[in-house]
Structure 1
Amino acid sequence: MMAKSKFVSINGDSRQFAIDDNIKRYPLIDAGFKQTKNGNFSYDRPLYNDSPYNATMRLKITISKDMTQLTMVITDKNGLQKVNLFKNEQLSAAKELLEFILKDLVEAHIITEDK
């Protein structure tokens, strides 16, 4: 039996997320996660308004290979600096895309939101 993962939040977001107890490998792959050389599952998606090539931020999620550890972060387009999407109203389109992605991951039983 897997140990329950702890809840984490995205920089600036008040909500908390954890790995869903019913997580399975294939839905991870279907949702866009890629397995890394060391066996972890990595999700890296640009948050953009019109073109992914002009994206100024990226959503990065990592789930450990034993599916017990979760990290979630929004970074600049180079992946070097954390970005707080929630304190800039001009980023509302990127926030909408983030909400859509998170909702899909919850519905696919990959992550769960702390209620």
Structure 2
Amino acid sequence: MANTIIINGDTRKFTIDPNVKRYALIDVGFKQTKRGNFVYDRPLYNDSPYNATCKLKITINEEMNHLTMVITDRSGLQKVNIFKNEQLSEMVKLLDYTLKDLEDHQIIKLA
């Protein structure tokens, strides 16, 4: 049974889609680590990825039964809540688009 997670500040709960396939992860941009985990690390930006203040980090383990998702600062060390700041509404829209794309590819689903 896959775990259920909530992104910091969001109200939606996500879990790994039971139909997830390795090739689908690679198709949408996940990279496989030496330990076999799949990592998705993308900046949330409007104009330039080099000016992005936040990024989305998703990790799925090798057995595809454990999911972590977090929004961090540029360095990846501090969690950021983009939902509490109205000025970050464009980042929320981009996050929603990215999560919808991952749902369409049967990688994650709403729990």
TM-score, L = length of structure 1: 0.95
Taking the aligned partners of 2:35 and 2:72, their CA distance within structure 1 comes to: 22
Gaps of 5+ in 2: none
1:100 aligns with 2:60: no
Counterpart for residue 83 of structure 1: 80
Counterpart for residue 36 of structure 2: 39
1:14 aligns with 2:11: yes
Taking the aligned partners of 2:17 and 2:9, their CA distance within structure 1 comes to: 22
Post-superposition shift, 1:9?
0.8
Counterpart of 2:50 in 1: which secondary structure?
Answer: helix
User: What's the Cα RMSD here?
Assistant: 0.5
Q: Give structure 1 regions of 4+ aligned residues with deviation exceeding 4 angstroms.
A: none
Match of 1:61 among 58, 62, 71: 58
Counterpart for residue 110 of structure 2: 113
Percent of matched pairs sharing the same residue? 65
Counterpart of 1:87 in 2: which secondary structure?
Answer: coil
Taking the aligned partners of 1:107 and 1:9, their CA distance within structure 2 comes to: 19
Taking the aligned partners of 1:75 and 1:105, their CA distance within structure 2 comes to: 19
What per-residue deviation string (whole Å, max 9, x for no partner) do you get for residues 19-76 of structure 1? 0000000000001000001000000000011100000001000000000000000000
Gaps of 5+ in 1: none
Taking the aligned partners of 1:31 and 1:113, their CA distance within structure 2 comes to: 18
Post-superposition shift, 1:6?
1.6
